[in-house]
Structure 1
């Protein structure tokens, strides 16, 4: 059962965190809107579309930076407790430092559960809306998503290649599909152009050629134009960078499993997204302990010093998280190690600070 102390601190913990979100998210929206208003007006985007975009932006922004907001909010209200000598009063009453931490850990658990739910189910949908709006109205257009030299393994037997694919027109050039059985190629389909038809989910191939490999001689079939179906999907030809961010937990696991079977070169990027959906919420515990250890001591200079330390530590954590994630995406570094390393490093720092704070 929660004591009066637990309820008091837990109320401060969640209330200040919520207030921090309410303060910073509108600022983020205002700054973002000020930067993009010219392009929004230029493209004559409907008001309802803009409103939905900023709903997605709010969820996307909150999911991205909630550990930093949590860290600063804990430092803020704990520094106030320390300056009002409330921390000293708590500890002088016989409450141990670990007991003093209990409501903080309860609050971190609530935030962690909320962060996991947000990252696994709400943020993917918001990320899709945010990125689609950005590409359609705020950037140069869908041509930014055009793909060059797409080479993909579709399944155990089939490989496709397109030298260039235009997303806007849903068409590509120099398309080939090679079908293998074991180590032997059985047939190869080539086309000068390929175009996807939304109406019936078929593909139109121009300058179509199919070479079937025979025991004595090959069979060659050519046609000016062919409408056909394939087992691959549009996203196989247009593997956008943020595709993993738009999938919920179950979809992402299935997607990564399928991409591994295809030998995708983007696996590390997808796995970084997957592991961060757990590692970032778990960081709530680590950042809470660091924040309490730093701010529970009354310092000369008051709250300003604690906030300065907090902002510095928070920015270093965000930097570590970004730099190791990028390293995993662009090198052979394990995505699992890259996403959890900041938590491990700052977890050690948290234990060190906690040990010294008890004194």
Structure 2
């Protein structure tokens, strides 16, 4: 299934995007690397569906040759008949787990960078306005607008509080710019207001070079940042974003839960595929494949709907992952029960 559909996906994608690649003068070697990353990324997304259709295709062939009837008539139980499918699903689930946790994140870096460099040129790959970050328990920063190309933040503010949550000082500047050659930050129209008791001390400078305990790109990570991190990096990143009070934390948590749910999805779809295609039908394999494609589209629909709810509203990311799998888990149980009869 992978060998059938991935090349087709590459050709369709090239047909749609080749004009943009030519207009933006994408180098040939970068295009080839991108297509490799595209294959890994898309293959991982569609792997549960490929597994589902593969099981339907294989089992329908057994059923059409009356082999399943012979197996069950010889005294073998339906559960024993399912055992090889579950063993196979286990191998695929383990493969999907390591792909999703360690291989795909690395491919996702090149995939997304190429997309925004050549195919989505001019589009912002991150939030660039009204950016708020909590550096630690006492320091908070804000910029009204961030230019990721020039590495400049405008209307910069930093507030520092003591252990009693009383403001000690506030820094402000017209802009903050990262200077790579000197590895420091440059503040323009710098103002520092320090509060000591009832006194307020104001310090102003036209320009100030200093250092801060954050990186300029950390002000607003790229929208696909969670997809590019492996299992351990993603856990650390989510905890860091929680501490900072990131507004889009749900989208990061959703990526984490989806990776963990993929192996479970492999088992659910395998059981549904066996239950649907193990019975010999008058329409043959075509009826089973048609039903399989319908179920696949419904699964993708539920997955997208609940994923969007988690990203755009206060819906729990955990529930967004559990609900589709729970629904299809009940469907698998019902179909298996009917198939045994």
Q: Same fold, TM exceeding 0.5?
A: yes
Q: Give the alignment partner of residue 226 of structure 1, picking from 196, 201, 208.
A: 208
Partner of 2:323: 341
Task: Give TM-score, length-normalised by structure 1.
Answer: 0.92
Asked whether 1:57 is paired with 2:27, we answer no
**Unmatched runs of 5 consecutive residues or more in structure 1:** 1-19
Q: Give the alignment partner of residue 139 of structure 1, picking from 108, 120, 123.
A: 120
Matches for 1:87-98 after TM superposition, within 5 Å: 87-98=68-79
Residue 125 of structure 2 contacts residue 223 of structure 2 at CA under 8 Å; is this kept in 1?
Answer: no
Matches for 1:8-19 after TM superposition, within 5 Å: none
Matches for 1:247-266 after TM superposition, within 5 Å: 247-266=229-248
Q: Give the alignment partner of residue 111 of structure 1, picking from 78, 81, 92.
A: 92
Partner of 1:298: 280
Q: Give the alignment partner of residue 202 of structure 1, picking from 181, 184, 191.
A: 184
Residue 146 of structure 1 contacts residue 166 of structure 1 at CA under 8 Å; is this kept in 2?
Answer: no
Partner of 1:7: none
Matches for 1:319-330 after TM superposition, within 5 Å: 319-330=301-312
CA RMSD of aligned residues (A): 1.3
Matches for 1:1-359 after TM superposition, within 5 Å: 20-141=1-122, 143-145=124-126, 147-181=128-162, 182-359=164-341
**Unmatched runs of 5 consecutive residues or more in structure 2:** none
Give the total of aligned pairs: 340
How far apart in 2 are the matches of 1:283 and 1:209?
55
Residue 171 of structure 1 contacts residue 194 of structure 1 at CA under 8 Å; is this kept in 2?
Answer: yes
Residue 152 of structure 2 contacts residue 177 of structure 2 at CA under 8 Å; is this kept in 1?
Answer: yes
Shift of 1:329: 1.5
How far apart in 1 are the matches of 2:136 and 2:12?
45
Residue 186 of structure 1 contacts residue 213 of structure 1 at CA under 8 Å; is this kept in 2?
Answer: yes
Task: Give TM-score, length-normalised by structure 2.
Answer: 0.97
Deviations 1:167-201 (A, max 9, x none): 11111211111111132111111110111123343
Residue 203 of structure 2 aligns to a residue whose secondary structure is: strand
How far apart in 2 are the matches of 1:185 and 1:237?
22
The runs of at least 4 aligned residues of structure 1 exceeding 4 Å deviation read: none
